[in-house]
């Protein structure tokens, strides 16, 4: 509409001139649009079309019908206003957002490593966001290096065109401790090994929780000891160094005080080699090592438990989170995947049990693959059948049904679950498994209606759809409530079908989407 092509002020002219709104009442519509309050806009629809009277029958809002605009045209105008509200911004806001968007895009395009390092640093307190942005780094072929006590700073930093993990993102390691580590490192050189670090740092900065977290995350990996050896021996080192400091404080004679020709550094070396050595033992199993890493970082950095299964997962699954996120860029195509049968593979990283109203047990799983994670809902009957393998850290294949709603994360309703070692095929369903190659060119019909409770209109739509049976799916998108429903039949999409639907629906309420 030309009258609302410029701003909210032009829109106010529409509601005043056509709907008979007062200046004050029209400003309520403006505010609802400014705040993107679609529920308020829908409430105003009836007033805009049919008007409003008070309890005595006095007209408060005339409405379009009283002003000579038919109901269908008024509905079309209001639909246009709602579409406008979804994307419209005040010019001052749009200008500011435009500048920020341009600057952000420029930095990411020309300085991607520096940009991503700063971006991850800005969300260090939110592990989910850190994980999300590190995955973006992987997509950009930017390597994120594990924490290193001699290389890392508090924040994520750029190192040889890579990003070095920031120590402030390590659980139990405070910023003050990190700053003291960095200052000591810059003033007196890098730490030569673990014992050298313990002796050089103030005892106030060192406690068991800090040391354990730095060991688990790989912060000492370059110092000649594996993580298992350090976990086994670090307490002995702390106790020995603490004892030596106490002796010096009390003024007792040092073990080396009477020896001529030995300098201070030689005394330290002699002490380290004789009394505080760390025994070398076998490193943790890879999965245990990675689990400890994730415990303190919230993610895997040095590897992934699924890496050895990468080829098998690609072969035996029909969908992964990377593909799902790619499809999500096209909202219509993404929504069309709702109710598809899929097979995914991954590790159960979290399991939450819940009791239903019938006092039955169901589970909510977080299943993580090489690219991300997805929620899987396991209803009581399915959980009872597969309870022995539905455990955290288990690697499984899950066959299930996608549940996708606009503005919500995708979920999978589990139907069948197998351990990674189980090579038997899944039970065949009448409905084919979603396949990213086979379904690329399928069409779906989307129909927009205002109210799911409008039984008369729904019945008329359904009667038309039944005349054209076929293989294409039909989705009903409602404004109140704002949801998407899958019609329980399929159709053959054709011009005749669309023309018949146009007899009861506006043209902009009918959409064909190629998937």
The CATH number covering residue 240 comes to: 1.10.150
The per-residue pLDDT for 436 is 43
In a domain, 297, yes or no: no
Closest CA to 395 of 460, 467, 305: 305
The average pLDDT across 111-119 equals 98
In a domain, 243, yes or no: yes
Q: Could you tell me if 58 and 116 lie in one domain?
A: no
The average pLDDT across 485-501 equals 82
Q: Could you tell me if 67 and 137 lie in one domain?
A: no
Q: Is 225 exposed, middle or buried (0-12, 13-18, 19+ CB in 10 A)?
A: buried
The per-residue pLDDT for 85 is 67
Give the number of other CB atoms < 10 A from CB of residue 302. 15
In a domain, 267, yes or no: yes
Report pTM: 0.61
Answer for the pair 367, 351: CB distance below 8 angstroms, yes or no. no
pLDDT tens sequence across 9-55:
567 788 888 889 988 888 888 777 767 676 777 778 888 998 988 88
The per-residue pLDDT for 173 is 94
Q: Could you tell me if 116 and 80 lie in one domain?
A: no
Q: Could you tell me if 144 and 218 lie in one domain?
A: yes
Model confidence band, residue 222 (pLDDT cutoffs 50, 70, 90): very high
CA dist 260 and 266 (Å) reads 11
The average pLDDT across 502-511 equals 86
Q: Which range (33-42, 171-180, 226-235) has the least confidence? A: 33-42
The average pLDDT across 496-511 equals 85
Say how many domains are in the chain: 4
What does the mean pLDDT of the chain come to? Answer: 85
CA dist 182 and 58 (Å) reads 76
Q: Could you tell me if 56 and 122 lie in one domain?
A: no
Q: Could you tell me if 142 and 224 lie in one domain?
A: yes
CA dist 173 and 190 (Å) reads 19
- Strands annotated E in 264-394: 341-355, 361-368, 373-378
Buried b (16+ CB within 10 A) or exposed e, 60-75: ebbbbbeeebeeeebb
Structure-block tokens of residue 41? 């806009």
Q: Could you tell me if 247 and 117 lie in one domain?
A: yes
Answer for the pair 143, 184: CB distance below 8 angstroms, yes or no. no
Q: Could you tell me if 326 and 374 lie in one domain?
A: yes
Domain C-terminal end among 88, 123, 138: 88
Q: Which three-class secondary structure state does DSSP give residue 103?
A: helix
pLDDT tens sequence across 365-411:
999 998 888 999 999 999 999 999 999 999 999 999 999 887 788 99
The per-residue pLDDT for 272 is 46
Q: Could you tell me if 389 and 325 lie in one domain?
A: yes
Q: Could you tell me if 137 and 201 lie in one domain?
A: yes
In a domain, 317, yes or no: yes
Q: Which residues lie across from 361 on neighbouring strands? A: 355
Most confident among 240-254, 340-354, 492-506 (mean pLDDT): 340-354
pLDDT of 430 over the 50 cut: no
Domain hosting 450: range is 443-514
Q: Is 403 exposed, middle or buried (0-12, 13-18, 19+ CB in 10 A)?
A: middle
Q: Could you tell me if 356 and 447 lie in one domain?
A: no
Block residue for tokens 């054709």? 494
């Amino acid at each position: 509409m030309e009258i609302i092509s410029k701003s909210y002020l032009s829109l106010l002219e529409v509601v005043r001139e056509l709907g008979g709104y007062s200046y004050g009442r029209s400003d309520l519509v403006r505010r609802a649009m400014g705040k993107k309050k679609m529920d308020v806009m829908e409430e105003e629809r009836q007033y805009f079309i049919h008007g409003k009277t008070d309890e005595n029958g006095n007209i408060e809002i005339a409405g379009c019908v009283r002003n000579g605009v038919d109901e269908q045209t008024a509905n079309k105008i209001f639909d246009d206003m709602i579409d406008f509200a979804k994307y419209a911004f005040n010019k001052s806001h749009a200008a500011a957002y435009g500048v920020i968007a341009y600057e952000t895009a420029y930095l990411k395009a020309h300085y991607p490593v520096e940009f991503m390092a700063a971006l991850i640093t800005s969300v260090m307190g939110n592990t989910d966001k850190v994980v999300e942005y590190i995955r973006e780094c992987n997509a950009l072929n930017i390597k994120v290096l594990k924490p290193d006590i001699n290389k890392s700073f508090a924040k994520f930093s750029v190192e040889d065109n890579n990003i070095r993990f920031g120590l402030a993102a390590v659980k139990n390691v405070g910023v003050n401790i990190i700053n003291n580590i960095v200052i000591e490192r810059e003033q007196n050189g890098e730490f030569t090994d673990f014992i050298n670090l313990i002796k050089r740092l103030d005892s106030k900065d060192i406690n068991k929780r800090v040391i354990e977290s730095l060991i688990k995350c790989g912060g000492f990996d370059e110092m000649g000891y594996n993580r298992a050896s350090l976990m086994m021996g670090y307490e002995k080192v702390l106790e020995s160094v603490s004892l030596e400091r106490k002796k010096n404080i009390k003024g007792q004679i040092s073990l080396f005080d009477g020896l001529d020709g030995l300098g201070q550094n030689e005394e330290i070396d002699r002490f380290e080699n004789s009394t505080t050595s760390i025994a070398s033992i076998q490193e943790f199993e890879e999965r245990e090592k990675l689990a400890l890493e994730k415990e303190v970082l919230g993610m895997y950095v040095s590897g992934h438990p699924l890496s050895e299964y990468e080829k098998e997962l690609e072969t035996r699954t029909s969908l992964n989170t990377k593909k799902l996120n790619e499809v999500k860029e096209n909202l219509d195509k993404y929504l069309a995947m709702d109710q598809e049968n899929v097979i995914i593979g991954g590790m159960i990283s979290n399991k939450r049990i819940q009791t239903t109203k019938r006092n039955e047990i169901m589970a909510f799983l977080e299943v993580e693959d090489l690219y991300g994670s997805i929620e899987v809902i396991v209803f009581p009957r399915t959980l009872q059948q597969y309870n022995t393998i539905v455990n955290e850290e288990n690697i499984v294949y899950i066959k299930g049904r996608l549940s996708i709603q606009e503005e919500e994360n995708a979920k999978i309703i589990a139907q069948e679950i197998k351990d990674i070692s189980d090579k038997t095929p899944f039970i065949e369903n009448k409905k084919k498994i979603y396949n990213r190659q086979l379904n690329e060119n399928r069409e779906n019909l989307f129909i927009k209606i205002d109210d799911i409770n409008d039984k008369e209109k729904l019945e008329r739509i359904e009667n038309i759809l039944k005349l054209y049976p076929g293989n294409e799916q039909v989705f009903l998108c409602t404004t109140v409530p704002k949801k998407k429903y899958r019609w329980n039949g399929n159709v053959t999409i054709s011009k005749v079908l669309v023309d018949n639907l146009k007899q009861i629906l506006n043209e902009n309420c009918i959409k064909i989407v190629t998937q």
